[in-house]
């Protein structure tokens, strides 16, 4: 019998769709003011539903109330127990640390949490490498190497860990949200932890370093886009990242480095957009294309750092037809495939397939894009 500890950060990821770069500290208040909706509860239930097939072999010890047990009861998971932390509905970082410590004291074999990098830091601090941990991705920032590719993949990881008990060492990393608000990406490693070893289903940490020669690759992509790909009277939703920013640099236009900006006819017309603002623009413009890039080493095209592309937005721009992916050859070189995690497993499959990535001046590369919510497919295609 495998015993897993389970806890949920109920506010993790709420800032993504409304254009915030996290929900740590007072940012959750701003997220609520902008109309953000909870993300973690649905992610938690997706994981638990996938775990139902293993209910007789896996016992779940969960944090109380909205931090875990509410969702176990909702999906009718048969083999579980609850701890008395937190005591109320309002939760804090201290509750995460306290609940994790209690779970470890109860003798769990692995701690599974729903959240982002901030939650990962709190869990890692409480665990102190006594047991492995596994994250179910639900944050705005997920640079750490402890997250499964999706809730369904997390359930598959637990099932395999129950048999092998094999572990790797991974980084816990986090970005400075105050620096991000100023348009500066400042990330550092805070700890090293144990994670279940399942290739293809646990995503490595983000590539934090730059690569020599990439600036020229980005400039070539930007020149090709501006001179030959950019269409008149088309709304372009320019996603985060320095590869996309090279386009606005060439046009001498401003760019939100870690957010979405709207551009038409070579001019940025609106900056730092959330889902609401994007939908308003889409209602006014027939032709729209999202220009986005892939996260280095982790291989996500949609679902990490660009949660403004919600299922509603993706369907409104026409799904795959509304995506123009760009990436440097250096960034793609180590990736066997790229992932999409829209928050909707059905849409994940619709958005998967083969994409034509712009990789240089008049250079394009065919890249396979897979649904992060299909662990069986990812396992079959995982690099050995």
pLDDT tens digit string along 93-150?
999 999 999 999 999 999 999 999 999 999 999 999 999 999 999 988 789 999 999 9
Output the pTM of the full model: 0.91
Q: What is the pLDDT of residue 255?
A: 96
- SS (HEC) of 292-356: EECCCCCCEEECCCCCCCCHHHHHHCCHHHHEEEECCHHHHHCCCCEEECCCCHHHHHHHCEEEE
Give the lowest-confidence range in 178-192, 232-246, 277-291.
178-192
What whole-number distance in Å separates Cα of residue 210 and Cα of residue 81? 46
Q: What is the pLDDT of residue 17?
A: 66
pLDDT tens digit string along 329-362?
999 998 999 999 999 999 999 999 999 999 999 9
Q: What is the pLDDT of residue 12?
A: 85
What whole-number distance in Å separates Cα of residue 292 and Cα of residue 361? 17
Residue ranges of domains in the chain, CATH in brackets:
2-203 (3.40.50), 214-381 (no CATH)
67 pLDDT more than 80: yes
Q: What is the pLDDT of residue 90?
A: 83
What whole-number distance in Å separates Cα of residue 311 and Cα of residue 313? 5
The model's confidence at residue 14, banded by pLDDT at 50, 70 and 90, is confident
The model's confidence at residue 297, banded by pLDDT at 50, 70 and 90, is confident
The model's confidence at residue 21, banded by pLDDT at 50, 70 and 90, is low
Q: What percent of the chain has pLDDT over 70?
A: 90
């Amino acid at each position: 019998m495998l015993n897993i500890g389970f806890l949920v950060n109920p506010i993790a990821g709420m800032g993504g769709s409304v254009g915030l770069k996290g929900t740590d500290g007072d940012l959750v208040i701003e997220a609520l003011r902008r109309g953000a909706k909870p993300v973690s509860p649905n992610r938690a239930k997706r994981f638990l539903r996938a775990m139902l097939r293993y209910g007789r072999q896996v016992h779940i010890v969960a944090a109380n109330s909205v931090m875990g047990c509410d969702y176990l009861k909702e999906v009718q998971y048969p083999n579980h127990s609850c701890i008395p932390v937190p005591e109320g509905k309002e939760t804090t970082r201290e509750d995460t640390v306290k609940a994790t410590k209690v779970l470890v004291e109860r003798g769990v074999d692995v701690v599974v949490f729903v959240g982002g990098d901030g939650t990962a830091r709190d869990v890692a601090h409480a665990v102190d490498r006594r047991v492995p941990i596994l994250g179910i991705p639900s944050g705005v920032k997920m640079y750490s190497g402890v997250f499964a590719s999706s809730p369904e993949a997390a359930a598959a990881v637990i099932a395999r860990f129950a048999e092998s008990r094999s572990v790797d060492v991974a980084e816990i990393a986090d970005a400075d949200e105050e620096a991000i608000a100023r348009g500066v990406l400042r990330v550092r490693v805070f700890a090293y932890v144990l994670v279940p070893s399942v290739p293809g289903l646990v995503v490595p940490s983000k590539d934090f370093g730059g690569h020599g020669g990439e600036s020229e690759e980005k400039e070539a992509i930007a020149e090709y886009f501006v001179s030959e790909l950019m269409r008149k009277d088309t709304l372009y939703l320019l996603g985060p990242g320095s590869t996309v920013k090279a386009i606005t640099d060439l046009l001498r236009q401003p760019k939100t480095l870690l957010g979405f900006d709207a551009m038409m006819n070579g001019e940025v017309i609106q900056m730092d957009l959330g889902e609401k603002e994007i939908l308003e623009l889409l209602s006014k413009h027939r032709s729209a294309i999202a220009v986005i890039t892939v996260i280095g080493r982790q291989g996500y095209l949609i679902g990490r750092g660009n949660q403004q592309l919600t299922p509603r937005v993706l369907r409104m721009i026409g799904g795959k037809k509304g995506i123009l992916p760009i990436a440097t050859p250096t960034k793609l070189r180590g990736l066997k495939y790229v992932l999409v995690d829209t928050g909707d497993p059905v849409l994940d499959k619709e958005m998967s397939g083969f994409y034509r990535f712009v990789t240089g001046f008049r250079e394009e590369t065919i890249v396979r894009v897979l649904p992060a919510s299909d662990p069986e497919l990812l396992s079959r295609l995982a690099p050995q």
